[in-house]
Amino acid sequence: MQQTGYLPVATFVLPENCWTEHFYAPQAIAQENFLKKYEGNSTVESLIASQRHEAQLFDKYKAYYGYVFYIGKKL
């Protein structure tokens, strides 16, 4: 950050519940609605399968990765 003209002020890790409660849970509902709307569409089915796989990977490996936000002040 400093090389680009910012002073690091704070960091925080996005909590697990932000993923589980506020991303993956609503996404699962939206996926079902999308599948019903485009029933039989193989492209949609492939997209949803990919998203579900991502959720499974998160559930399995959430202890090993996540998002960190960095807050900086312009120098």
Tell me, what's the pLDDT at 14? Answer: 94
Q: Which domain holds residue 60?
A: 2-74
Summary count for the chain: helices (H), strands (E):
3, 2
Number of domains in the chain: 1
Look up the pTM and report it.
0.76
Tell me, what's the pLDDT at 62? Answer: 94
In the predicted model, is pLDDT for residue 8 greater than 90? yes
**Cβ atoms within 10 Å, residue 41:** 13
In the predicted model, is pLDDT for residue 65 greater than 90? no
- Diameter of the chain by CA atoms? 55
Q: Are the C-beta atoms of residues 14 and 69 closer than 8 Å to each other?
A: yes
Tell me, what's the pLDDT at 35? Answer: 98
